Structure 1
Amino acid sequence: MYNIILITIDSLRPDFIGCYNENAKKEELTPNIDNWAKDAVIFKTTISQGPRTPESFPALLSGQYSCRYLDIYKGLSPQRVLISEILKKYNYYTAAFNTNPYISRHSGYNRGFDYYKDNLLTFGKHGLKKKFLMGYVRLRNLLKEPYIRANKLNKQVLSWLERANKPFFLWIHYMDVHGPYISKKGLILLNRIRAASLWHKAAGVYDHGLNDKEKHFLVETYKEEVRYLDFYINDIFKNIDDTNTLTILTADHGEMLGEHNLFGHGFELYEELLHIPLIIKLPQEIPVKNKYIDTPVKSLDIVPTILDVLNLKVNITFDGRSLLPLIQGNEDKYPSNEPIFSEIWTKYLAVRKGEWKLIADYAGRKLKLFNLKEDPKEQNDLADKKPEVVSELKLLIKQHLLDINAPSEDVEKWGFKIDEE
């Protein structure tokens, strides 16, 4: 049985990785990731199922849409089966290391793990209450580093690897690229204060009032964080036995860096938030035909891919598909024109099919249509000019809501009748 390592990086955009973007390569933002990826498969267009951690990770770790069990903000539903739980049943030794309160043990993300280190404080018998989690993080932003840094997280991971039983499943989630972005130049305390101030002023707010100098500072410090993470992630790469390990590197979502006058990530569904990196390095004995995959894929495909590589069969209906056929040149086994959905609960969705992408909410206030082939930056809203395309994609949204068993009242809020053919 192969070892499995899943590396997720919060808020990392593919266009800031050298093997995805020539400008990032020229700026040497990610030389270690680029070098590691030389023998890996790179998926050029991978779509996250949500623009933030609470919406993206339920799908990424289960292979089922986040809204299927309506458990985005309530803690994971017992009906949602995580990849850790599946592998645990097949005698995998499982461990996870992260520092994001949204994916802590308090929300059920420790299920199926023999060892789960979320680096959060524990208060009292029942642990740190969820309502205090974000207040705790904001306070820590000002007093010290906002999250456990990669160098410290790596020490925990490498210590565990030294004594890990095999086969193992290891999940590492890094927060270094997540805001507030802290410059490594000058006085670190002043940098923390400035970073926290700008982040809370700008993140997710249209009328942030940032001047050009402040906007430039945010972009440049984001790059600094990418470089910092790339430097330390190499410590993990150097300790991976590629002969018998399936390693997957991806992100939960992207980040707005001034596009659409937004910074950070929030309740929007633009490409800067949904387009994420996905790099897969297979065990050496598994043949690879295609190194660069153009077909649009999704976070939902990660769990089915892991199980396919391991040749494990489970009685679960996944919303994703294995990517192994694409990797091995059997493109006909992965439909290239299937709709891909990204969700913020059931009230605000994006559907992508072919060159078209519709962003819509049930109230009709945020209806936007883009031709991604001609307008990849989503600057030209064609909703009024292409009503027939809007209608077609809205029908796909209806079918999606029915497929995931959304509550009937949620479906009807969109103006859909349940019994309509």
Structure 2
Amino acid sequence: MTDTTLLVTVDSLRYDHYQYMTATREFLGDTHPATFATNTATPSCFQSIIGGIYPGEAGVDADSHVAVEHDAPYKYGISTNRFLSPRYGYDRGFDGFTAPGREDKGLKDRVAEHMTPQSTLFGIASRVWNVVQSVQQRVASVDRDYRPAADVIDEFLDATEDRDAWFGWLHFMEPHHPYNPDDGPVSRGEAQQITRRVLNGRASERDTKLARELYRGEVEELDDRLTRLWDAIPDETRVLFVADHGELLGEYDEWGHHATMCPELLRLPLATRNIPVDSDVISLVDVPTLLLGEEYNRGSVGRATAYAASNGNHAAMNRAHMATDAGVVTLDGDPAEDDDLMAAKAEFEQGAARPVTKDELPHDDLEALGYL
């Protein structure tokens, strides 16, 4: 008899791209139709996913951490995002935890550590390095910016081998930008340059088309790698799979994930195995509740409305509509009317905590994730 629970989180995975994850759909089933993020960026969304709380200052503590609360005799977590690291408290409760480190510093990091992150000199150095990196990509092989999914899965399966009871959390960076799958239509160096151009608003029509193809390639590649995980874990494992936020692929003339309140960023894929989901609407604050089987912090088992806040903008979502400052749309983005949902948004806005903004996060972590 095994007693195993696994949380799998994916950075920047759009709701409408879960359909391309054929192996994952076969293992977990279809996505829940109305699951929503609480923010549009990883540092805030994971306060909800791990802590069951609405976003505030960055990080989580022992009172807002599902691994601390879970009673498994062995707990192992692997993060591939620097915002989900011991620096922000995400290692709490785990017997083993791996996250991107700062030990192996390249030239850029060694130079940067002698500068004040908010200084003009640091900004100039960052821009110069981007030019140098662009030249390097034309003349040498280029690595991924993030640890690949296959490595994460190998480590986790090694760590849990021969154990009958465990709680695991794996966070994957595919398909976070830069979009550069192994088997893409262009080289990894060119793919990273294309991603940089679309994010900076300098893309050609060819860039735009290729960037969307590369993003989908990242999703399909992750699905392929996950096949080994799905085959290896016990059949009775309780699994919850969810994205932290979505991604804009040119909608509203935007790429990436900023503070725009829209279905492409706030509507999420969520699928489970051996975990019952009865609620019409799910918020990320409900994830610990689903994993623990009982309400935890702000989580609910019968939610009708979900909420999000980012950079002074607010949204409310139900099973049919999304209400933002711009009005009401369906979950597919078509204009709609829902006075009750607009009233719910206004009520949430009055009492909502202010999530941390990008400018308030550590400069080195933002740069490592390609935001500077």
Q: Same fold (TM over 0.5)?
A: yes
Deviation at 1:102, TM superposition (A): 1.2
- Given that 1:8 and 1:252 are in contact with CA atoms closer than 8 Å, whether structure 2 keeps it comes out as yes
Relative to the length of structure 1, the TM-score reads 0.69
- Given that 2:323 and 2:329 are in contact with CA atoms closer than 8 Å, whether structure 1 keeps it comes out as no
Counterpart amino acid of residue 65 in structure 1: Y
Deviation at 1:150, TM superposition (A): 1.2
Counterpart amino acid of residue 191 in structure 2: A
SS of match in other structure, 2:32: strand
Counterpart amino acid of residue 299 in structure 2: G
- Given that 1:55 and 1:343 are in contact with CA atoms closer than 8 Å, whether structure 2 keeps it comes out as no
Pick one of 175, 179, 182 that aligns with 2:180: 182
> How far apart, CA to CA, are the structure 1 residues paired with 2:354 and 2:218?
40
Give 1:81's aligned residue.
64
Does residue 321 (structure 1) correspond to residue 322 (structure 2)? The answer is: no
Counterpart amino acid of residue 352 in structure 1: M
Does residue 296 (structure 1) correspond to residue 281 (structure 2)? The answer is: yes
SS of match in other structure, 2:203: coil
Does residue 227 (structure 1) correspond to residue 220 (structure 2)? The answer is: yes
Instruction: Describe the superposition over 1:75-128 as per-residue Cα deviations: whole angstroms up to 9, x where unpaired.
Output: 43x3642001112xx35311111211111222211111110111323279xxx9
Deviation at 1:200, TM superposition (A): 2.5
Which structure has more relative contact order (CA 8 Å, sep 6+)? It is 2
Give 2:362's aligned residue.
none
Counterpart amino acid of residue 63 in structure 1: G
Pick one of 21, 31, 49 that aligns with 1:30: 21
Alignment of structure 1 residues 356-375 onto 2, 5 Å = 356-359=321-324, 367-372=325-330
Residues 258 and 391 (structure 1), Cα distance of their counterparts in 2 relative to 1, 3 Å cut: closer
> How far apart, CA to CA, are the structure 1 residues paired with 2:117 and 2:239?
35
Unaligned runs of 5+ in 2: 106-111, 119-125, 356-372
Give 1:362's aligned residue.
none
- Given that 2:181 and 2:221 are in contact with CA atoms closer than 8 Å, whether structure 1 keeps it comes out as no
Identical pairs, percent: 21
Counterpart amino acid of residue 193 in structure 1: G
Residues 222 and 294 (structure 1), Cα distance of their counterparts in 2 relative to 1, 3 Å cut: farther
Does residue 343 (structure 1) correspond to residue 309 (structure 2)? The answer is: yes
- Given that 1:63 and 1:319 are in contact with CA atoms closer than 8 Å, whether structure 2 keeps it comes out as yes
SS of match in other structure, 1:102: coil
Residues 220 and 397 (structure 1), Cα distance of their counterparts in 2 relative to 1, 3 Å cut: same
> How far apart, CA to CA, are the structure 1 residues paired with 2:327 and 2:155?
45
Instruction: Describe the superposition over 1:40-69 as per-residue Cα deviations: whole angstroms up to 9, x where unpaired.
Output: x741111011111112111011111113xx
Pick one of 47, 55, 72 that aligns with 2:36: 47
Residues 391 and 116 (structure 1), Cα distance of their counterparts in 2 relative to 1, 3 Å cut: closer
- Given that 1:256 and 1:272 are in contact with CA atoms closer than 8 Å, whether structure 2 keeps it comes out as yes
Give 1:60's aligned residue.
49
Instruction: Describe the superposition over 1:317-340 as per-residue Cα deviations: whole angstroms up to 9, x where unpaired.
Output: x22213xxxxxxxxxxx243x3x1
Deviation at 1:393, TM superposition (A): 4.2
Unaligned runs of 5+ in 1: 19-28, 323-333, 360-366, 407-421
Instruction: Describe the superposition over 1:163-193 as per-residue Cα deviations: whole angstroms up to 9, x where unpaired.
Output: 54x4211001111211111144579xx7232
Does residue 377 (structure 1) correspond to residue 333 (structure 2)? The answer is: yes
- Given that 2:285 and 2:299 are in contact with CA atoms closer than 8 Å, whether structure 1 keeps it comes out as yes
Counterpart amino acid of residue 357 in structure 1: M
Deviation at 1:30, TM superposition (A): 2.0
Deviation at 1:258, TM superposition (A): 1.4
> How far apart, CA to CA, are the structure 2 residues paired with 1:202 and 1:301?
34
Moved more, 348-357 or 99-108: 348-357
Deviation at 1:236, TM superposition (A): 0.3
> How far apart, CA to CA, are the structure 2 residues paired with 1:97 and 1:79?
18
Deviation at 1:197, TM superposition (A): 2.1
SS of match in other structure, 1:66: coil
> How far apart, CA to CA, are the structure 2 residues paired with 1:57 and 1:11?
12
Pick one of 392, 406, 411 that aligns with 2:343: 392
Give 1:111's aligned residue.
92
Relative to the length of structure 2, the TM-score reads 0.78
- Given that 1:249 and 1:280 are in contact with CA atoms closer than 8 Å, whether structure 2 keeps it comes out as yes
- Given that 1:44 and 1:294 are in contact with CA atoms closer than 8 Å, whether structure 2 keeps it comes out as no
Give 1:329's aligned residue.
none
Residues 93 and 299 (structure 1), Cα distance of their counterparts in 2 relative to 1, 3 Å cut: same
SS of match in other structure, 2:309: strand
Counterpart amino acid of residue 395 in structure 1: A
Instruction: Describe the superposition over 1:224-254 as per-residue Cα deviations: whole angstroms up to 9, x where unpaired.
Output: 11111111101100111122x2111111111
Deviation at 1:220, TM superposition (A): 0.6
> How far apart, CA to CA, are the structure 1 residues paired with 2:18 and 2:215?
12
Q: Which runs of 4+ in 1 moved over 4 A?
A: 128-132, 137-143, 353-356, 388-391
Counterpart amino acid of residue 351 in structure 1: A
Does residue 170 (structure 1) correspond to residue 168 (structure 2)? The answer is: yes
Residues 405 and 231 (structure 1), Cα distance of their counterparts in 2 relative to 1, 3 Å cut: closer
Residues 82 and 294 (structure 1), Cα distance of their counterparts in 2 relative to 1, 3 Å cut: closer
Instruction: Describe the superposition over 1:291-341 as per-residue Cα deviations: whole angstroms up to 9, x where unpaired.
Output: xx7822111111111221xx6x8xx6x22213xxxxxxxxxxx243x3x11
> How far apart, CA to CA, are the structure 1 residues paired with 2:196 and 2:147?
19
- Given that 2:318 and 2:341 are in contact with CA atoms closer than 8 Å, whether structure 1 keeps it comes out as no
Does residue 215 (structure 1) correspond to residue 208 (structure 2)? The answer is: yes
- Given that 2:315 and 2:323 are in contact with CA atoms closer than 8 Å, whether structure 1 keeps it comes out as yes
> How far apart, CA to CA, are the structure 2 residues paired with 1:356 and 1:233?
32
Deviation at 1:396, TM superposition (A): 1.5
